[in-house]
Amino acid sequence: MTGKIGHLELVVLMTLTIVGTAFVELPRYMAMRAEQSGWISVALGALGGLIVVFVLCWLARRFPGKTLVGYAEAILGRPLGKLVSIAFATLLLVIAGMLIREFAYTIIIATQPMTPDSLLVAVFVLLVAYQIYWGLEVIARVAVTFLPYIFISPVLVTFGTLGYVKLGRYLPLLGTGLGPVLKASFYASMYYSEMVLAAMILPRVRACTPARTRRALILALGLAVPPLTAVTASCIGVFGPSETSRLVSPALELARLVTFGESVQRMEALFVVFWMLAAMVKIGIFTWSSIEAIAETLGLVNYRALIPGGSLLLYLLAMLPENIWDEQAERGAMVKIMPYVLVGLPLLLALLAWVTKKKGAEASES
Amino acid sequence: MSRRCLLRLAAVGLICALAPVATGCYDRVEVEDLAYILAVGFDLAPTGDIEVISQIALPANSEGGGGGGGGGGGGAGGMPVSVAVATGKTAMEAFRHLAQASSKRPFWGQARVVVFGEALARRGLGPVLDILSRNYETRRLMYVMVCPGRAHDILTARPEIESMPALLLSGLEQMATFHSLAARTTLHDFLISVGAAGNEAFAARVMLEKQMTEIKSGTDKNEKTQLRIDGCGVFFQDHLVGWLDGPTTRGLLWLRGEADSGVISIDDPASGIKGSIEVTRASSEIAAAVDPNDLANTRFTVRIRGVGRLTEEYCGPDVARRETVNLIDQLAANEIKAEAQAAIAALQGELRSDVIGLGEKVRERLSNAAWDAVKAKWPDYFPKVKVEVNVDFKVSRHGMTLGRLTPDVQR
C-alpha cells in the first residue's frame, strides 16, 4: 500500500462525503424551509460547493503538495496556523459525532427500537476506527466498491414511488417566494461544502495536477446533485411538503412504499444497508481528516497513535446529546457555524494569501 | 511467556468474547413469538374510552399450516384468526391491555386494514391516527375503512367467502377498481388528506349484511353474514361528517380522476338504446379561475375524459353505425356527468366538505402566504363555489359482436 489514491477514488470519496447521510434527513429540512420548492434548493445549493471547489483548486495550485493545515501554517504563520488547524480538526470530529448519532437514531427509530443508542454508536465508532487504522486508501477502495449499490438506492426509491407522486404537490413553483428557497439552498450548500475535506486529501492523490483536480471535484459535485435532488423531489411529490417535514426520515418512508408486485415488498432494510455503507464512508472521511489534521499539526509521522483517543472522543461526542431533542438543538447550533467554517475558512485563507502574496514552494512535488 | 504467545491468547479471548455477538441481531424476535395483526379496528367505548379490536392470525388453524401431528387437526373447525378486544383511555393503553391476554408480541407489519367505527370517527380520529403513523411497523399502504355502527361487528364477522376476514376486506378494496362504487383509501392518502386543508379525507364504507337462508332439514334458519364495501365516509379534518352512497362515490371518483373502471347503464327512451358500457380508463382535469379577492367567486371547470367498451346493447338502433356509437358516447357522458354533479351537490350541500380537492387547486394558484391566509376560511367558501363538469366519453371497443342479436320478428 502506498497510501495514495487515484482520481477516480477522489471523485467517489467526495461524492459520498456529500451524499453520505443526506438521504436520511435532507428532504425533511428542505421541506421545512422551502416547502414544495425544497428540491430546487437542493439543486441550487450545489453552487456553494462550486465556490469551495474553486477556492480549493486555487489554494492547491498556489501551495502544491500541502494540506489545509499546511496552507494555514504558510499563510497565518506557525502558531496561529496550528491553532486554526486544531480548531478545524475539532469541528470535524464534532460533526462526525453528530452524524453518527443522527444516523444511529434513524436506524433505531425505523428498524430496531429496542436497541440502546450506545450500542449502535459504539459499533459505528469501532468500524470508523478500523477504517482509519487502515488509512485513506482503504476507505477509498471501500467507497469505490460500494458506490454502485449506494447509487442504486435513490434510483429504485425514485422510480419505485413514481406512481404515488402527485404533480400538484410541486405547485405553485417558488410559492414561498425566492427568499425561503435561497435560505434553504444555503442550508443545502452545507452538505456540498463538506467537499472542503478534499483539502486534506489532495496531496495524497496520485499524479495530481490542478486541472485534473478541478475536473475531479466538479465531477464529484455533479454526481452528488442528481440523487439528492431526486430523492427530495420524490419525497415532496409523494408526501407533500407538510407530511415530509413531519416525518423523521421521509426517504425511509419512501423506501417503505416501494413494492414490486406482491412478492417484493419491505425493501427498506436493503436501503438502510446501502445508506449505512454511505454513512460509514462519510463519517470515516470526516474522522480521518480530523485525526490526520491533528497529527500533521503536532508533527506526528503516523497518526495511528491518535486512533484510540480519537475514537473514545468520537464516542463521547456522539453520546453527548441525551435524546433526539438535544441532538436537534446541537444540529441547530452547528448549522449556524458550519457553512462559515467549511466555506469561510478556505475562502479566508485564499484571500489572505492573495493579499499578502504568499506562495508555497514553487518546486513542483507531485 | 513470549509476546507472540500473549498475542495469541488475546486473539483467542477476543474471538470468544465476540462469538456470542455473531449469533444474531440484538433485537431478534422469533417468528413464533409474534402475534401477526391482520386487521385492526377502533371504536368508541360507551365510557368514552377507545376500544381496540385486533384480528390476529392463528397460522396453526389455517389451511396447510400446522398439521404437523399426523392429520389430527382437521375437524376442529377453528377460525384461522382470533379476535381480541380491549379498551383504554388512549389507543396505546388499549393495546397494552390487549397484551394482558396474549403470550405473544403484537406485530403490525402484516396489518392490511384498519376499520373505524362510526361513533369514534364522528368524534375525531386524530389520537388514533397518530399512533398508526408513529408506529414504525405499520405500513402506510394499509386500507382505511369506516363502518356504520361498530368496527367490532365487522371484525368479528364470519364471512363464508374467505377464511380470514382481514384478507377479505383487503381483497374487497382491491376489487373496488372493477366497479369504483367504493373508495379505495390507503393510510398514506388518508394521513395526507387529514393534514391538508382544501383536500379532505374519505374512506371506504364497509357494511355487514345478514342474509337468511332456509335450511331444508328444519324450520330454523341459518344466518349468513357477508361483508360489503359500498360508498364512502366523508370526513372533515379528522372527523366523519357523513356518507356517500355507491354511485355518488363514483361521481366523486370521476371528479378526482381516481375511478379506474365501472359499469354505466344506459336507458334512453328517445332513441330506444338500452345497454351498458364498461369504463376502462378515466381521468380528470380541474381548472380553476381563482378570484383572489373573493374565493367564493372561484369558478372550477372539471373536465372528465373516459374511454370504455360496449358490453351490452339490446334494443336500440344498430351499433355498427357510427351515429349510434356517437349517441351512446353522449348518453354515457351524461350518466357520468349526472353522478359527478350528484357528488358535488351532496358535498357542497349537507356534508360541506371539500373531498374533491378543489381547495388544493386554489392553493396551487396562490402563493404559499396567500393560501395560508385564506385556508382556514376555505370550508366556508367551498359550498359557494361554482363547479362546471364537462365529460368527454368515447366507446372504443365493442366486444365479440358488432350488430346486436335481433329476434327475426318478420318471419
Give the tens place of pLDDT for each residue, A25-47. 889 999 998 888 999 999 999 99
**Per-residue pLDDT at A1:** 54
pTM above 0.90, yes or no: no
Reduced to 3 states (helix: H, G, I; strand: E, B; else coil), residue B61 is helix
Q: Is residue A153 part of a domain?
A: yes
Q: Is residue A137 within 8 angstroms of chain B, CB to CB?
A: no
| Closest Cβ–Cβ partner in B109, B191, B363 for A243 | B191
Distance CA A289, CA A341 (A): 15
State the CATH number of the domain containing residue A234.
1.20.1740.10
To the nearest whole percent, how much of chain A has pLDDT over 90? 35
**Per-residue pLDDT at A286:** 93
Q: Is residue B109 within 8 angstroms of chain A, CB to CB?
A: yes
Count of the separate structural domains present in chain A? 1
pLDDT digits (tens, 9 = 90+) for A134-190: 989 999 999 999 888 888 888 888 998 888 998 888 888 888 888 899 999 988 988
Separation in Å, CA of B289 to nearest CA in chain A = 15
Q: Is residue A110 part of a domain?
A: yes
Separation in Å, CA of A229 to nearest CA in chain B = 21
Q: Is residue A366 part of a domain?
A: no
**Per-residue pLDDT at B217:** 56
Separation in Å, CA of B360 to nearest CA in chain A = 8
Q: Domain containing A70: what range?
A: 7-357
- Reading the block at residue A38, the C-alpha cell is 425544497
- Report chain B residues whose CB lies below 8 A from the CB of A266: 109
Q: Is residue A345 part of a domain?
A: yes
- Report chain B residues whose CB lies below 8 A from the CB of A115: 26-27
Q: Is residue A363 part of a domain?
A: no
pLDDT digits (tens, 9 = 90+) for A312-355: 999 999 988 888 788 888 888 888 888 788 888 889 999 998 88
Q: Is the pLDDT of residue A265 over 80?
A: no
- Please report, to the nearest 10 degrees, the dihedral formed by the alpha carbons of residues A215, A220, A226, A231 taken in order: -170
Q: Is the pLDDT of residue B74 over 60?
A: no
Asked if A176 and B368 come within 8 Å (Cβ–Cβ), the reply is: yes
| Closest Cβ–Cβ partner in B25, B140, B371 for A256 | B140
Q: Is residue A149 part of a domain?
A: yes
Q: Is residue A364 part of a domain?
A: no
pLDDT bucket at B222, cuts 50 / 70 / 90: low
Asked if B141 and A259 come within 8 Å (Cβ–Cβ), the reply is: yes
Q: What is the mean pLDDT of residues A249-273?
A: 80
**Per-residue pLDDT at A336:** 81
Q: Is residue A253 within 8 angstroms of chain B, CB to CB?
A: yes
**Per-residue pLDDT at B69:** 36
pLDDT digits (tens, 9 = 90+) for A199-233: 899 888 887 788 888 999 999 999 999 999 999 99
- Please count the other Cβ atoms lying within 10 Å of the Cβ belonging to residue B409: 5
Asked if B139 and A256 come within 8 Å (Cβ–Cβ), the reply is: yes
Q: Is the pLDDT of residue B71 over 80?
A: no
Q: Is residue B192 within 8 angstroms of chain A, CB to CB?
A: yes
Distance CA B249, CA B232 (A): 6
Q: Is residue A1 part of a domain?
A: no
3-state helix/strand/coil string of chain A: CCCCECHHHHHHHHHHHHHCCHHHHHHHHHHHHHHHHHHHHHHHCHHHHHHHHHHHHHHHHHCCCCCHHHHHHHHHCHHHHHHHHHHHHHHHHHHHHHHHHHHHHHHHHHCCCCCCHHHHHHHHHHHHHHHHHHCHHHHHHHHHHHHHHHHHHHHHHHHHCHHHCCHHHHCCCCCCCHHHHHHHHHHHHHHHHHHHHHHHHHHHECCCCHHHHHHHHHHHHHHHHHHHHHHHHHHHHHHHHHHHHHCCCHHHHHHHHCCECCCECCCHHHHHHHHHHHHHHHHHHHHHHHHHHHHHHHCCCCHHHHHHHHHHHHHHHHHCCCCHHHHHHHHHHHHHHHHHHHHHHHHHHHHHHHHHCCCCCCCCCC
Q: Is the pLDDT of residue A364 over 70?
A: no
pLDDT digits (tens, 9 = 90+) for B293-306: 888 888 999 999 99
Query: How many beta-carbon pairs under 8 angstroms link A with B?
Result: 56
To the nearest whole percent, how much of chain A has pLDDT over 70? 97
Q: What is the mean pLDDT of residues B323-334?
A: 89
To the nearest whole percent, how much of chain B has pLDDT over 70? 87
